[in-house]
Amino acid sequence: MRLSCIFAVLLSLFPCTAWSKACRWDDASLSYQGTALEQATCLLRAVGKGGTIADTEAPLPAHLAARIGQPVSVSRSALRRYLQAEGIQETSLGGGLDEPLSTTEGEPAHPALYFVIHDTSDILCTREEFPGDSDSPDASWNMAATWESSKQAHLFLTRDGAAYSPQGRTFSVPWRATKHEMTIGESTRGRFLHIENVQLRRPEVEADAPLTNAEGHCVNDRIAQRPGFTPKQMHLLALTYIAASIRAGEWMIPACHAVIDASFAGGHDDPQNFDLEAWSEAIDAVVADIERISSAAAVFNHG
């Protein structure tokens, strides 16, 4: 038996469970291969320090797995009632609930399908621990002015739980923010929604090594806050995902930026320390609150 045949037989006996670095993209359908759930298990793989990507599928929390790709049972009116009760402007979550999501330009037009989670990797050139006021509304990285004119992303979620639309962008605006989209080209514009989450970083350096290079730039941004996102950010990221999915008609496919760009040299390392389980629980909690407020309103209306 030739060596290649032996390998073929071995592979059939022990199917390869390791993932290639990149999830497989299909140009014709402008999507990754596989079902929505299969895509998510690839696209949500954990992102480690320096951008290492787990080579096994993401351990999707059961409740999140049960949603992805399925119709959304939460209605627009129920979400509106919740937002009113919470004092949240519906347009602050990537645009109004009646506005369509972005679509691609070609024929046929493909609507936004991917909900891409980023962190901003704000570098502090210091050896000291992250500052105690990192989640304060007064910290510069949590201020509207820091993000309102950014050319990146559709939405910025700050550590104190506020949402800012850069340049007034909404989820209706086709926008690209990954090397993957830039490399494949204009055909992908509109297929991905990009949500940035403010997170501080600091360099990882030897005790006696300089913190900056010859140009004065921080040598790296490898150390991230842990957990990566605050509870308020997780709550808002969950709410944003729910709002976007209601507009899509089905639960969108969440993805980590670094996984999307895994095959590109100098790719990204975000989001760091993103707790998928905590996010899934945050989605469950918001959905439960929406349903509770909605059923209370129904009882009131019939009472």
- In the beta sheet, which residues pair with residue 31? 26
Question: Which two tokens mark 78?
Answer: 């129920």
Instruction: Give me the least distance between CB of 10 and Zn ion, in Å please.
Output: 38
Which residue of the chain is nearest Zn ion when measured via CB? Answer: 118
Q: Please report how close the Cβ of residue 177 comes to Zn ion at its closest, in angstroms.
A: 7
Which residue type does 138 have? D
CA–CA distances in Å: residue 219 to residues 66, 131, 201, 223: 42, 20, 12, 12
| Single residue of 90, 160, 261, 270 touching Zn ion by CB under 5 A | 270
Q: How far is the CB of 183 from Zn ion (least distance, A)?
A: 15
Closest CB to Zn ion among residues 118, 235: 118
Site for Zn ion in 81-120 (CB under 5 A): 118
**201 forms part of the interface with Zn ion (CB under 5 A):** no
Contact indicator for 175, 182 with CB cutoff of 8 Å: no
> What CA–CA distance (Å, rounded) separates 141 from 182?
27
Residues between 249 and 268 with contacts to Zn ion, criterion CB under 5 A:
257, 268
Binding residues with Zn ion: total (CB under 5 A): 4
Give the end-to-end CA distance of the chain in Å, rounded to a whole number. 79
Could you tell me the smallest distance in angstroms from the CB atom of residue 268 to Zn ion? 5
Q: Quick check: 180 binds Zn ion (CB under 5 A)?
A: no
Question: Which CB sits closer to Zn ion, 110 or 268?
Answer: 268
C-alpha closest to that of 242 among 255, 234, 251, 253: 251
The full 3-state SS of 50-108, as one line of letters, equals: HHCECCCCCCCCHHHHHHCCCECCCCHHHHHHHHHHHCCCHHHHCCCCCCCCCECCCCC
Which lies closer to Zn ion via its Cβ, residue 79 or residue 259? Answer: 259
Smallest gap from residue 244 Cβ to Zn ion (A): 17
CB closer to Zn ion out of 247 and 268: 268
Which residues contact Zn ion (rule: CB under 5 A)? 118, 257, 268, 270
